[in-house]
């Protein structure tokens, strides 16, 4: 993996952290006691989001962040 820096809004950081903790707790409860599992972190979620965006690349249209967001239904 390569390191890539990104600037996120405060609300995005807070929600990413909250969601990562929630998913990690659910994953721990779902596996047998002591069983190893993949860590779910905010970086995990960012990689998933990038894959999701790249999967919709043909839909991206616009010259501003708002236009790009709207073009993929956000």
> What does the block give as tokens for 67?
């236009």
- Is the pLDDT reported for residue 64 higher than 90? yes
For residue 66, is it within any domain? yes
9-62 pLDDT, tens digit each? 999 999 999 999 999 999 888 877 766 778 899 999 999 999 999 999 999 999
d(CA 4, CA 8): 13
Give residue 22's domain range. Answer: 10-71
* 67 within a domain of the structure (yes/no): yes
In a domain, 5, yes or no: no
Residue 1 in domain: no
Residue 4 domain flag:
no
């Amino acid at each position: 993996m390569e390191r890539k820096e990104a600037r996120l809004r405060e609300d995005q950081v807070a929600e990413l952290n909250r969601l990562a903790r929630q998913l990690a707790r659910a994953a721990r409860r779902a596996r047998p006691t002591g069983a190893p599992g993949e860590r779910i972190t905010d970086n995990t979620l960012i990689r998933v989001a990038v894959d999701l965006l790249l999967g919709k690349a043909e839909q991206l249209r616009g010259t501003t962040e708002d236009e790009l967001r709207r073009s993929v239904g956000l």
